[in-house]
Amino acid sequence: MSTGTAQAQDGTAAAAGAASDVVCAVRDLVKTYPAVRGRRGAPALPETRANDGVTLDVRRGEIFGLLGPNGAGKSTLVRQLTGLMRPDSGTVTLLGHDLVRHPGRASRLLAYLGQESTALDELTVSLAAETTGRLRGLDLRAARAARDAVLEELGLTAIAERPLKKLSGGQRRLACFATALMGERPVLVLDEPTTGMDPVARRAVWAAVDRRRAHHGATVLLVTHNVIEAETVLDRVAVIDQGKVIACDTPAALKAQVSGEVRLELVWRESAPLEVAEVDRLRARAVESGRRWVLRLAPDEARAAVASITGGPAFAALDDFTLATPSLEDVYLALGGRTKGLVKS
Amino acid sequence: MSDRSTGAVRAALAPDAAATPEPEVAPAGATVGRAPAAQPAPLAPGARFFPSLAAVYRAQLSRARVARIPLLFVATFQSVGIMILMRGVVDGGSEARAVVAGSSVLVVAFVALNLLAQYFGQLRAGGGLDHYATLPVPPASVVLGAAAAYASFTLPGTLVTAVFGCLLFGLPMGGLWILAAVVPLAGAALAGLGAALGLLAPRQELATLAGQLGMSAALLLGVLPPERMPALIVWARDLLPSTYGVEAFARTFEPEPDWAAVAFDLGVCAAVGVVSLAVATRAYRRASVR
């Protein structure tokens, strides 16, 4: 359905029949940040192509994810989808509206949760929600009713009168998420919504998202660099690396791409016993970080490696090992992702 | 749908294979570069001007409780301290009127110009404008709401300073009602200027610097009696909008105030306020879509 830039010229795109179901269509989006001249204390930056021909479709009612490491171009993409930034070229169509020509319409179609809370920091949770509701066009009575309902739903009622500034990172994030739910919008764009949240708060977020999906058919566009979250909540995911979509499908289908491999992690007590021939041979295929080795191997290779290490002289030097099926991180690496920076938690 | 991305995956793994996509990946009639032809969804109503102005004003006012109280005290103490210093130099007459009026309007300059420039500079640098820019709210509501709130913050400090000054220099307090016009109008002019500076400055530090400089100018040119200044400085003084607030206020201490001149001074403040708030609104619009 959605395609990477490698295929953009091949004529693959949304099938005509599915077109009416596409909530957000992005075609060949390019955004380049100009070079920054060096100042004292700040190094010069070359011109950066943050989005390099991005093409994707988000369908009605799905939780669509943008997964990639920091600096991959996810936030730049989202800023163009929310009308905060104009692309250099390409089109963005949201619910039938051309957002490149009419960026102002984005605010009347979607709710956006950015990474920053500067605008709300000094307000109480309750006033932040109420004000956002009023600025989203609700009248006073409706804004107050929506505020009470949303704070109750997210379990924020007890801290409603505390300023955001005085809350912990996770609570503050949850309060910002509450403002994004004010004044129902058919599309929610959430930029790393669960950063810093404890599991209870995360569950509250995903339960709230699910409710909006079930009752209002809301569509969610989620930016994340957390692979575990991506695997558990997303319907489909576009893997983004260096400004390009390198893959786009359901998490399960993406993982099936690398299902021929398993991930073997070896943790040595001090250093790897390279004098053991088997260990020395594995080293060539390991990604080393300190005393931790990560290998991606075919299942029988992995089985043989584990057997020889745990049964041989290398076992004395081994601290721990895990054998796991591939995650989206492995997909990202297998697809040629060059940056480390995906989070597993 | 899981089969559809195999082409993409292979293309990424082996770029030369991308030239021959599998048949099911490229359905007939596919359209690239064209938006799906669907009926545009209805737009949610935008927020109207006055309700959103009220909402922004209320939210900004509440920030004072959390963040601004210490600085409001600073503004008042600064002005009171200046008047006490000047008491030793100035001895009644028009100079005393200028000092009291200048110190009172300085509170307005400190909060509306300096703090508002800092606030908008910080909001812009920290990505806080995104929050407002992704809400269907008229830009003027955000700028005017914030400016009005900052102008309101100055009212108690201005009153305290003016009353203290009148007692200190033995001036009549009967004319203090004019503050009800001076504070909002000088407030509009200075807050508009502060908002414009904060939103136009390319960097946050420059916004802070501009705000500080503006306040220093209001301090030096407003508080010191103009009779002792060289001509060049007097011209600079005439360019500063706060001067007209100071003059309007100072005139009302006279036994027979020249009301036409007071009205003219306040008119200048109002005109500067309108222009600078319009500039700030434009700057806001520009800053929120990059």
For B61, counting Cβ atoms within 10 Å of its Cβ (0-12 exposed, 13-18 middle, 19+ buried), the class is middle
For residue A16, which residues of chain B lie inside 8 Å, CB to CB?
A: 27, 29-31
Span A99-111, average pLDDT:
92
- My answer on whether A233 and A319 are in the same domain is no
Q: Tokens 């297998």 label which residue? A: A334
A173-225 confidence digits (pLDDT tens) = 999 999 999 988 999 999 999 988 999 999 999 999 999 999 888 999 999 88
pLDDT of residue B135: 93
**A340 in any annotated domain:** no
B18-66 confidence digits (pLDDT tens) = 333 333 333 333 344 444 455 788 888 888 899 999 999 999 988 877 6
DSSP assignment letter at A124: B
Interchain CB contacts (distance < 8 Å): A and B: 232
Domain boundary among A225, A251, A277: A251
- My answer on whether A69 and A206 are in the same domain is yes
**A47 in any annotated domain:** yes
Q: What total of structural domains would you count in chain A?
A: 2
Domain boundary among A219, A251, A283: A251
pLDDT of residue A80: 92
- My answer on whether A119 and A154 are in the same domain is yes
pLDDT above 90 covers what percent of chain A? 46
Residues B46-59 as b or e (16 or more Cβ within 10 Å = b) = bbeeebbbbbbbbb
Q: What is the pTM of this model?
A: 0.80
- My answer on whether A288 and A148 are in the same domain is no
How far is CA A325 from its chain centroid? 21
- My answer on whether A177 and A35 are in the same domain is yes
Span A86-92, average pLDDT:
93
Indicate the range of A141-145, B42-46, B190-194 predicted with least confidence: B42-46
CATH number at residue A115: 3.40.50.300
Candidates B134, B199, B289: best to mutate against A (most CBs of A within 10 A) is B134
pLDDT of residue A195: 87
Indicate the range of B25-29, B86-90, B182-186, B238-242 predicted with least confidence: B25-29
CATH number at residue A319: 3.30.70
How far is CA B101 from its chain centroid? 22
**A57 in any annotated domain:** yes
CA distance readout (Å), B273 to A83, B59, B278:
30, 22, 8
Among residues A149, A152, A186, A154, the alpha carbon closest in space to that of A171 is found at A154
* B132 pLDDT above the threshold of 80: yes
Helices B93-108 + B241-251 axis angle, to 10: 130
Range of the domain at A303: 260-325
Cα-Cα end-to-end distance for chain B: 36
Q: What is the C-alpha to C-alpha distance for residues A295 and A305, in angstroms, rounded to an integer?
A: 10
Residue count of chain A, please give it: 345
Q: What is the C-alpha to C-alpha distance for residues B130 and A32, in angstroms, rounded to an integer?
A: 20
For residue A57, which residues of chain B lie inside 8 Å, CB to CB?
A: 36
Span A118-123, average pLDDT:
89
Q: How far away is chain A from the Cα of B207, in angstroms, using its nearest Cα?
A: 17
Candidates A57, A131, A245: best to mutate against B (most CBs of B within 10 A) is A131
Q: What is the C-alpha to C-alpha distance for residues A82 and A100, in angstroms, rounded to an integer?
A: 10
pLDDT of residue A2: 42
Ramachandran category for residue B164: left, alpha or beta (phi over 0 → left; psi -120 to 50 → alpha): alpha
Domain boundary among A217, A251, A285: A251
**Number of helical (H) and strand (E) elements in chain B, helices listed first:** 12, 0
pLDDT of residue B6: 37
CA distance readout (Å), B42 to A80, A221, B52, B152:
21, 20, 21, 39
- My answer on whether A125 and A245 are in the same domain is yes
